[in-house]
Structure 1
Amino acid sequence: MRKPRLFVSFSGGRSSAYMAQWIKRTMGETHDLLFVFANTGQEHEETLKFVRRCDEAFGLGVVWVEAAVQFGARVSTKHRVVTFETASRNGLPFEHVIQKYGIPNQKFPHCTRELKLNPMYSYVDSVWPERDYQIAVGLRVDEQRRRRKDADFTRIVYPLMDWHPIDKEDANAWWEQQPFTLNLTERQGNCVWCWKKSDRKHLLNLADDPESYEFPDRMEKLYPDAGAGNGGRVFFRGNRSTQDLIALSQIVIPDERMGSRDDEDGGCSESCEAFGEQQLDLFDEEAA
């Protein structure tokens, strides 16, 4: 009899890594496991190092994938398999998505779909085409608001909510006992300039690391009219461009930096959990 299959979506964050090692330890003998990490080309280098270190320390066998955009055809994004050494650091997968679909933002939130969901589904379906697997997502018990309403229908499970409940304090306490951890602050996150972040976080990050905003600035200048929409598209909240944020950072002092500290990111914190938020999972262009 075939073992149950579990696809583990490894975001590169601490909670996701905790989930991955727990699944490997407790379910490695009873389940067929696939650990998959999707690199956007704009992940922080510390995230890439952390994924590699977790893979080595916990014996996960992580498969690294990137978006393979299908230009010139109404076909959804596929995948290419990469490694730590060959993974994009210059944002090329992200740029390809922007070239075809346009700049993502609150109105056009397609980056997770095309850079995370579709490439991971594409890879896992190439290994398990029967789609008889469950998808493990590393959201904690204190993140219930991010649980998808259609989780049962989409085969998504939340081990850190339902099988081995832990909260953020539990996860942090565990990592404090380990010989390594993710060397990023929650404010930085895996993608430092992610458009889901609050203005407050962007302004603080701009003060610390302005170079990380060079990519979104360049994309806005190169592809303002790409994809659907009325053109002139920009990334950030309030229809702000990268240059708007930079200008704001130069006139706002730290004590006045805007943004609520409660629920300020709409689900974006230290990592982007591709399957964690209610959204369109797959956009099959062949059927559109």
Structure 2
Amino acid sequence: MSRLFISFSGGETSAFMAQWLLQHRANHYDDIVCLFANTGQENEETLRFVQQCDEAFGLDVIWLEAEVKQGRARSGHRVVSYGTARRKGEPFEAVIQKYGISNQNWPHCTRELKLNPMLSYLASIGWEPGSFDTAIGIRADEMDRISPLCREKRLTYPLISDIEMTKPRINAWWSNQPFRLQLKGYEGNCKWCWKKSLRKHLTLLTEHPEWYDFPERMEALYASVNPKPDLPDRVFFREGRSTRDLRALACAGGFTPAHDEAQVYEDQLALDLDTSNGCSESCEIDFEEVA
């Protein structure tokens, strides 16, 4: 039996891929499953967009949230919906309580909030790793993000191999649709994702300071949660910056705000303020940790 798992991140590129696969590749597979994992810190616009895509394109999206297990067990899953998906960071906080603050050195948030819940759900319906293809929404202008383990892990990149899509082409397609993801490019699906560049953080702290209440509270409560007691306290952001540090930088001003690249795409020289860890409109999972 041939199976396809569509990893829907909640962004426009991922949504285009999902609907394209159902239109053009549905007859290639016996079964297709489309999953979206909610962390509790997605923008409301992202959740609304996922629901709109589901209704408009018939994706049959299954909404998941992490269910943290005790001991060394990986996060499991709970099935939710647009209406019941939690919006106050509850899944994220549960992961932090067990694993500590996530950051560049401890990047477990995507693994425990997205990857493992998705794999847990797939296992619950009898889909074990190696028994299905996984479609990931990485475009032809993002080929540096392709996993070197893609063949071994049965990862597919339809927007590179099947239909060559770039950011301008994705934008052109969405410009002809009756709805779009109502977020600026630098806002992204996860409100304050630590992978964002410093410029994006400072811009967001100016425009939406309340978005950073959650990471600030997490740092106050769980900075000392570590696998070993002698390790230093953790903070979320690069260069050892805490949420409070970012707030101070934003208040000081003196920076050029981030540009909304969601619907305009052009090459730019990267400055230090723009250095990121790959956070764009959405968080694509590379699935390299699949056993």
Amino acid at match of 1:195: W
Q: 2:86 — aligned with what? A: 88
Deviation by residue 1:119-156 (Cα, 9 ceiling, x = unmatched) = 00111121133441010000000000000001111111
Amino acid at match of 2:11: G
Q: 1:108 — aligned with what? A: 106
**Correspondence 1:48-127 to 2 at 5 A:** 48-71=47-70, 73-127=71-125
Distance 1:261 1:159, change over 3 A: farther
- In the alignment of these two chains, the number of paired residues is 276
What TM-score do you get using the length of structure 1 for normalisation?
0.92
Task: Answer yes or no: is 1:243 the counterpart of 2:244.
Answer: yes
Distance 1:281 1:226, change over 3 A: farther
The offset of 1:263, in angstroms, is: 7.2
- Tell me if structure 2 keeps the 8 A contact 1:98–1:227: no
Q: Secondary structure at the match of 2:34?
A: strand
Q: Distance in 1 between matches of 2:160 and 2:257?
A: 36
Q: Distance in 2 between matches of 1:255 and 1:193?
A: 18
- Tell me if structure 2 keeps the 8 A contact 1:10–1:16: yes
The offset of 1:28, in angstroms, is: 2.1
Runs of 4+ in 1 over 4 A off after TM superposition: none
Q: Secondary structure at the match of 2:56?
A: helix
Q: 1:286 — aligned with what? A: none
What is the RMSD computed on CA atoms of the aligned residues? 1.7
Unaligned segments of structure 1, at least 5 residues = 283-288
Greater Cα offset, 104-113 or 248-257: 248-257
The offset of 1:30, in angstroms, is: 3.1
Q: 1:34 — aligned with what? A: 33
Q: Distance in 2 between matches of 1:10 and 1:268?
A: 15
Q: 1:285 — aligned with what? A: none
- Tell me if structure 2 keeps the 8 A contact 1:113–1:281: no
- Tell me if structure 2 keeps the 8 A contact 1:104–1:235: yes
Q: Secondary structure at the match of 1:65?
A: strand
Q: Secondary structure at the match of 2:123?
A: helix
Amino acid at match of 1:19: M
Greater Cα offset, 144-153 or 120-129: 120-129
Q: Secondary structure at the match of 1:20?
A: helix
**Correspondence 1:175-214 to 2 at 5 A:** 175-214=174-213
Q: 1:12 — aligned with what? A: 10
Amino acid at match of 2:17: M
- Tell me if structure 1 keeps the 8 A contact 2:197–2:273: no
Unaligned segments of structure 2, at least 5 residues = 259-269
Q: Distance in 1 between matches of 2:150 and 2:26?
A: 23
Q: Secondary structure at the match of 1:7?
A: strand
Greater Cα offset, 61-70 or 26-35: 26-35
Q: 1:165 — aligned with what? A: 164
Q: Distance in 2 between matches of 1:129 and 1:59?
A: 22
